[in-house]
Amino acid sequence: MHLTSAEDMTVIVCDRAELEALIEAAVSRALDNRRPVRDLLTARQAAEVLDVHPRTVLRWSREAGLPSHRIGERELRFVRAEIVEWATSRSKHAKAS
C-alpha cells in the first residue's frame, strides 16, 4: 500500500486484496459501534416498560429528565437501559426521602 497526501486529499494506492481488507475492517468497525435498533423504543413501548401512559413518558422526557433521543424533527426514541436506570434511580431517591 502506498499513501500520497496533498493539502486537501489523500490517495491510497493498493491492490484489490488490500482494498477488500480495508473495506472489511471499516465496515466491521462501523457495525461494532452501532446501537442495536431493538433497544430504541417509541414512547408507547417505553410506557409499557415503565407501566405508565405514553403521554406520561413524553411529559417526563420534557420535564423530569427521562433520557430520550430525537430522531429527525419530531420523533423521540428511548433506550431501554437508560429509561430503566432513570426509573430505578428515581425510585431509590423517593424511598430515601
Q: pLDDT tens-digit profile of 5-53?
A: 677 787 778 899 998 998 999 888 888 777 666 678 999 999 999 999 9
CATH class for domain 37-96? mainly alpha
pTM over 0.85: no
Q: What strand order describes the sheet that includes 75-79? A: 40-41, 75-79, 69-71
Structural domain boundaries in the chain:
2-33, 37-96
Is 83 in contact with 49 (CB distance < 8 Å)?
yes
Residue 49 · residue 38 · CB < 8 Å: no
Which secondary-structure segment (H or E) carries 67?
none
pLDDT at 58: 96
